[in-house]
């Protein structure tokens, strides 16, 4: 294969090996208790197509572009063989924090979900306080609001949470203008602002950098259309990057690991340990953290696991139809 995909593979080639699975989660995450996704095999190995169900076809097509690249093109040269990763803590009660974090072997960093619908800032404070206690003074704690606060709410929350020595605050507000404003308001505190949704869901993923609205970018390979496109976004933005997953199986995590491995600079632990949020996987060589790291590799799927987690016939049809529509958009 060439280093890049120059021609779109025929739809029948993708559908021939496509398998739709539904894997339960240990804890509700992003409103989901089961993660549905598609894996299919290309000349370079297995790859994953897993946009969230609510995304429209135009947005999901970028995810398919990334999946095709990973299955059909050689990846850029890896500059590192392992990736340091962070634990991800869903919006659980403080009493559940230690149990959830115990699944992440050797991780020195935790990303704590905050601003969950139906919860309060007091809930967030209790969760972050407990995460700091579990990690100790040397651990790193970052928070992710998924754009759930307005600017005033974000400023108030950051003031409440700053005592826990935050590494950074990810997507405190939804829009680029709001990010720029909150970044200005809290600059004196020395807490960096990271952009995620404002990069991967934006018509212009560089708008955040152009507006001076963030100190670093959180990037994901699938949503940005593949490893090469994500690398180019980082290069043009000129900001530090954290590579993160989109709640993927180990196949999708491997795509993110190859992205992280190819970046010239990687100063932050990456959010690529989310397979531990699942109760299962499509491979026995799961890319869960070991001593806080995952290897840069390409796992093979296990047919027995594909059968175990096979989606229902109606959901399988739904995903195959979605893949077909997205493939047509890539033309």
201 catalytic? Reply is no
Residues paired with 21 in a beta bridge: 37, 310
Location of structure tokens 């491979």: 283
Report helix, strand or coil for 258. Answer: helix
User: Which position among 111, 113, 201, 210 bears the catalytic label?
Assistant: 113
Residues paired with 112 in a beta bridge: 89, 143
Domain 82-301 CATH (choose: 3.40.1440.10, 3.20.20.70, 3.30.565.10, 3.20.20.120)? 3.20.20.120
CATH 3.20.20.120 domain span(s) along the chain: 82-301
User: Which position among 111, 201, 210, 220 bears the catalytic label?
Assistant: 220
Question: Residues at the annotated binding site for Mg(2+)?
Answer: 144, 170, 196
Question: Residues at the annotated binding site?
Answer: 144, 170, 196
CA dist 256 → 14, 217, 222, 260, 276 (Å): 21, 14, 8, 6, 15
CATH 3.30.390.10 domain span(s) along the chain: 11-76+304-330
Q: Return per-residue pLDDT of the chain as tens, 331 residues.
A: 345 555 899 999 999 999 999 999 998 877 789 999 999 999 999 999 999 999 999 999 999 999 999 999 999 999 999 999 999 999 999 999 999 999 999 999 999 999 999 999 999 999 999 999 999 999 999 999 999 999 999 999 999 999 999 999 999 999 999 999 999 999 999 999 999 999 988 889 999 999 999 999 999 999 999 999 999 999 999 999 999 999 999 999 999 999 999 999 999 999 999 998 899 999 999 999 999 999 999 999 999 999 999 999 999 999 999 999 999 999 8
CATH architecture, domain 11-76+304-330: 2-Layer Sandwich (3.30)
111 catalytic? Reply is no
């Amino acid at each position: 294969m060439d280093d890049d995909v120059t021609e779109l593979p025929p739809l029948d080639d993708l559908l021939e090996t496509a398998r739709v699975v539904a894997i339960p989660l240990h804890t509700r995450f992003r409103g989901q208790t089961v993660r549905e996704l598609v894996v299919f095999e290309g000349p370079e190995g297995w790859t994953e197509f897993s946009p969230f169900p609510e995304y429209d076809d135009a947005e999901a097509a970028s995810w398919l572009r990334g999946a095709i690249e990973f299955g059909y093109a050689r990846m850029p040269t890896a500059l590192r063989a392992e990736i340091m990763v962070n634990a991800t803590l869903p919006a659980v009660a403080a009493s559940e924090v230690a149990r959830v974090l115990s699944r992440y072997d050797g991780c020195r960093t935790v990303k704590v979900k905050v601003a969950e619908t139906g919860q309060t800032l007091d809930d967030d404070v209790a969760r972050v306080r407990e995460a700091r206690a579990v990690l100790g003074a040397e651990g790193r704690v970052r928070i992710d609001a998924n754009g759930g606060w307005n600017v005033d709410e974000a400023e108030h929350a950051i003031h409440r949470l700053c005592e826990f020595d935050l590494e950074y605050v990810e997507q405190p507000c939804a829009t680029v203008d709001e990010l720029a404003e909150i970044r200005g308001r809290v600059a004196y505190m020395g807490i960096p602002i990271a952009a995620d949704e404002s990069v991967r869901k934006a018509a212009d993923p560089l708008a955040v950098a152009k507006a001076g609205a963030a100190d670093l970018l959180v990037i994901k390979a699938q949503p940005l259309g593949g490893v090469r496109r994500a690398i180019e976004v980082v290069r043009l933005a000129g900001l530090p990057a954290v590579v993160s997953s989109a709640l993927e199986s180990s196949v999708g995590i491997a795509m993110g690991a190859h992205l992280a491995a190819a970046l010239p600079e990687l100063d932050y632990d990456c959010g690529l340990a989310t397979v531990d949020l699942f109760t299962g996987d499509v491979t026995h060589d799961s890319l869960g953290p070991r001593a806080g790291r995952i290897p840069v590799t390409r796992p093979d799927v296990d047919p027995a696991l594909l059968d175990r987690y096979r989606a229902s016939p109606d959901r399988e049809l739904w995903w195959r139809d979605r893949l077909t529509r997205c493939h047509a958009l890539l033309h």
